[in-house]
Amino acid sequence: MADPNTKFLVVDDFSTMRRIVRNLLKELGYSNVEEAEDGVDGLAKLRAGNFDFVVSDWNMPNMDGLTMLQTIRADPALAKLPVLMVTAEAKKENIIAAAQAGANGYVVKPFTAATLDEKLVKIFEKLEKAGG
């Protein structure tokens, strides 16, 4: 497991889904979690606070998750943030678009705690390899 103080931002327009992801993260040992309700809110929070990891939905009002991801990658201050997409969008072109935009992982809803854990572990391993 990575640093338990890793600061997560969960971006989803449904409060129940934010609560579920927050609880799952807590169960996995990460209790430093904040929430945002769409891409605009997410970017504002990312720019204001030192976040280490973003878990984002795709389909949200104001700014969707893909646009937020693209904005993160285009912003030098945020570009290296790991972003895990957790979304109901299940078309192949969605998955390809997210990968091309620089997503670190892609989880389709409905998902299990084990899937989320597996993806997080994989992303942290890759980051460690890239860092070391």
Inter-helix orientation angle 65-74/92-101, to 10°: 20
Closest approach, Cβ 4 to other proteins, in A, equals 16
Burial class (CB in 10 A: 0-12, 13-18, 19+), 5: exposed
Residue with tokens 């890793």: 6
# chain residues binding other proteins, by CB under 8 A: 25
Residue 92 binds to other proteins (criterion: CB under 8 A):
yes
Closer residue to other proteins, CB minimum distance, 32 or 115 = 115
Residue 93 binds to other proteins (criterion: CB under 8 A):
yes
CA separation for the pair 46, 43 (Å, rounded) = 5
| Residue window 64-83: x/- pattern of binding to other proteins, with contact defined by CB under 8 A | x-x-----------------
Residue 30 binds to other proteins (criterion: CB under 8 A):
no
CA separation for the pair 27, 1 (Å, rounded) = 12
Q: Point out which residues bind other proteins (CB under 8 A).
A: 16, 19-20, 23, 58-59, 64, 66, 88-97, 99, 106-109, 111, 115
